[in-house]
Structure 1
Amino acid sequence: MGTVKRAHRRGASALTLLCAMAILTAPGLGLSGTAHAAPAAPSVPGAPTAPMPEPGAKSLEQIRKEIEDLYRQAGSATDAYNLAESETKVQSERVVQIAQLIVAGRERITGLKDRAGAAARAQYRSGGLPAGARLVLSDSPSQFLDSKARLRQGEKATTDLLTELDRTQHDLQRYAKDASTVWQKLEANRVEREKSKKRIEEKIKAAQDLESKLEAEEKARLLQLEQEAQYKAQTQWLSSGAMKDVNGKATDAGKRAVQFATAQIGRPYEWGATGPGSFDCSGLTSQAWLAAGKAIPRTSQEQLRLRKVAVKDMRPGDLIIYFDDASHVGMYVGDGAMVHAPRPGRDVTMAGAGSMPIKAVVRPDA
């Protein structure tokens, strides 16, 4: 109960701060989905006006867009890395399963061969003479006929045993082929992870290098420009009437997912992280729903495959997939707001649900 109260306090505090910067349209975190009017234009208290750029130099707005684009590319590469990582885990488990099947198959073949050898030796001992000779030498014709019937049964059992032996050998061949295929996938995933990791590190470093060259006043102004861009996008989204009919109620699972996500506000973004100390965007949403008792795919691109719902039917706990390449995801929390892990250098926070281009809304607990 204390955790829930702390989550509410942190969510409320974060939203109050966000409203002070006038990014969101909501006065508080709610689970009703009710939309509110757009706020006044945002500003960062004490942020000085950046000096006029030199002729030919990039403006701060151009730098902001360049940094944003680099981080988006890093986010897309992070999704590829996370997907390869999760597939590697599944394939590694499959390799172990196949190895166990191969061991069991080999043991079964050894047992079948032992049984086949014993049957062959028994048949040789009992069936070495022609049937006519055995009838003449037999003390009782009925006893001979009984032994003949048992011999036929033994022959069928031997045939069945050999058939099973052949089938088990074929299974072993198939297991070996499966193992080879899985190993190839594992290697391909390893290569993809390495490529994605390199792309991520390159994009993040390029963005950080751009930002590191700015003076303190320019960095403050850059943050203000980010907030203004979010405000503008959110205002345009609201003006389109997108939130007019949105009044969905959260399910119990949705409430638990929102409580978990908002409780992470203030924790840093880290690519590939799923908590508890840091998260990337899909790490936050997947862990929030896991905490609510529902396992969902790890990456935003995989989460896009969940059941889609119209924006007007959106309810708290639903996931909002952003950008054409589905490289970012946030969780709708109600009142036109969403919680997300934005990018490297930023913390888990709340923002306007329409502050980025929406690709789709999906429902984990459909």
Structure 2
Amino acid sequence: MRGRVPAVVVGLAAVALLLPITGAQADPKPTVAQAKAKLKKLNEQADKVVDQYNAANEKWKKAKKQYAEINASYTKKAERVDVLRESLVTVATSTYQTGDIVSMGLLYSPNPESMLSGLAALDQLSQGRARQLNEYQGAIADLKKQRDQKKGVYVEATKVKADLLKEKKQADQLVKEQTELLRRIGAYNPGNTNSAGAVYSGPASGNALAALQFAYRQIGKPYRYGATGPGSWDCSGLVQAAWSAGGVSLPRTSYEQWAWGASRKVPLNALQAGDLLWHAGLGHVGIYAGNGKVVHAPQTGDVVKVVTLAQYNAMGAVRP
């Protein structure tokens, strides 16, 4: 019978419509090269966002500590003033209750010198107490002013931290994208928070040797933004802890560390083991280990490790 399409053909056509689109019409998966290029951009974005959040968090912690210290001092002084005030009230009450007897006893004392001495002693006692109280009240007024100033710093820092929570969410999203890309290309390394690390055997000496020995013991531990050890690290957290082991106190973030070293910069062709090295943009920092090697905590999905100076692509250096 002409004009009729067989039922089998109709069925096959329906099935074809239900099948997922493949081939040229589907969105192609990124190649390894494309994934790595995107990952590089994500890492650069994460460096900036994470450093900003870390800086705000450090500012908040310092302000909170300062406020707690000044408030504790204020409370202690206030308690002392209360004791003095109570003592003065007791003296005043006692004088009121026994004043006539004391006064009569002093006024009619057969010994004029004893009478005058007694009156002077009472007057000195009262003046001394009042002077002490006035001194403490003045100290409390100054201290309260300081405490209020510190509280203002704390409140402002808390606002800054709250504002940057939005950027932290952005960083979390970047980490998620980084992780997905790394898993897709089979390059995600979860690391080992209990890694025993490695032994440093390079040319460093003195404080730099202590710093590099510490850094090498962290090899194999995972990178985690905002982390300051002992099981995971971000780049500046590792550098700060390593040089702390070397007896040098560094700021928390890579940008702050760069600013700290403004008068300590060294040319890249004169590097010594222990020098701090930055990528372009200053969002990432590592430690030169000598012999053309750098130890650092790279980025999400990677671990503390040693790379060549050429791989690291440094743009600036500071000597602690």
**TM-score surpassing 0.5?**
yes
Deviation at 1:170? 1.1
Structure-2 separation of matches of 1:184 and 1:275: 28
Structure-2 separation of matches of 1:359 and 1:188: 34
Equivalent residue letter for 2:238:
L
Shift in CA distance, 127/331, structure 1 to aligned 2, threshold 3 Å: same
Match for 1:109 among 70, 73, 81?
81
Structure 1, unpaired ranges of 5+: 1-53, 221-247
Equivalent residue letter for 2:155:
Q
Equivalent residue letter for 2:115:
F
Shift in CA distance, 275/157, structure 1 to aligned 2, threshold 3 Å: closer
1:254 aligns with 2:226: no
Structure-1 separation of matches of 2:214 and 2:63: 30
Shift in CA distance, 208/119, structure 1 to aligned 2, threshold 3 Å: same
Match for 2:304 among 326, 341, 348?
348
Structure-2 separation of matches of 1:80 and 1:353: 26
1:94 aligns with 2:51: no
Q: Choose 355-364 or 70-79, whichever is displaced more.
A: 355-364
Structure-1 separation of matches of 2:115 and 2:176: 90
What SS does structure 2 have at the residue aligned with 1:320?
strand
Equivalent residue letter for 2:80:
R
Q: Which residue does the alignment assign to 1:44?
A: none
Contact 2:224 2:233 (8 Å CA) reproduced:
yes
Contact 1:284 1:340 (8 Å CA) reproduced:
yes
Structure-2 separation of matches of 1:128 and 1:172: 41
Deviation at 1:177? 1.3
Q: Which residue does the alignment assign to 1:333?
A: 289
1:140 aligns with 2:94: no
Q: Which residue does the alignment assign to 1:290?
A: 244
Larger Rg: 2
Deviation at 1:160? 0.6
Deviation at 1:328? 0.1
Deviation at 1:141? 2.9
What SS does structure 2 have at the residue aligned with 1:330?
strand
What SS does structure 1 have at the residue aligned with 2:219?
coil
Structure 2, unpaired ranges of 5+: 1-25, 188-201
Shift in CA distance, 105/359, structure 1 to aligned 2, threshold 3 Å: farther
Q: Which residue does the alignment assign to 2:223?
A: 269
Structure-1 separation of matches of 2:67 and 2:178: 39
Deviation at 1:184? 0.7
State the identity %.
Answer: 31
Equivalent residue letter for 2:59:
E
Q: Which residue does the alignment assign to 1:234?
A: none
Equivalent residue letter for 1:252:
G
Structure-2 separation of matches of 1:120 and 1:268: 69
* Aligned CA-pair RMSD: 3.7
Contact 1:306 1:362 (8 Å CA) reproduced:
no
Q: Which residue does the alignment assign to 1:323?
A: 280
Match for 1:82 among 36, 48, 54?
54
Deviation at 1:207? 3.9
Contact 1:320 1:331 (8 Å CA) reproduced:
yes
Equivalent residue letter for 2:225:
W
1:160 aligns with 2:131: yes
Shift in CA distance, 263/166, structure 1 to aligned 2, threshold 3 Å: closer
Deviation at 1:290? 3.0
Structure-2 separation of matches of 1:118 and 1:264: 64
Contact 2:106 2:118 (8 Å CA) reproduced:
no
Q: Which residue does the alignment assign to 1:360?
A: 316
Contact 2:229 2:238 (8 Å CA) reproduced:
yes
Q: Which residue does the alignment assign to 1:27?
A: none
Matches within 5 A, 1:1-366: 64-121=36-93, 124=96, 137-171=108-142, 173-174=144-145, 176-178=147-149, 180-185=151-156, 187-192=158-163, 194-209=165-180, 250-307=204-261, 308-311=264-267, 312-324=269-281, 326-355=282-311, 358-364=314-320
What SS does structure 1 have at the residue aligned with 2:288?
strand
Structure-2 separation of matches of 1:121 and 1:94: 41
Shift in CA distance, 270/113, structure 1 to aligned 2, threshold 3 Å: same
1:298-346: CA deviation from partner (whole Å, max 9, x where unpaired): 221222133323125431112112223x210010011222111211122
TM-score (norm: length of structure 1): 0.63
Contact 1:265 1:347 (8 Å CA) reproduced:
yes
Shift in CA distance, 145/276, structure 1 to aligned 2, threshold 3 Å: closer
Equivalenced residues, count? 276
Deviation at 1:93? 3.1
Contact 1:109 1:168 (8 Å CA) reproduced:
no
What SS does structure 2 have at the residue aligned with 1:187?
helix
Equivalent residue letter for 1:321:
W
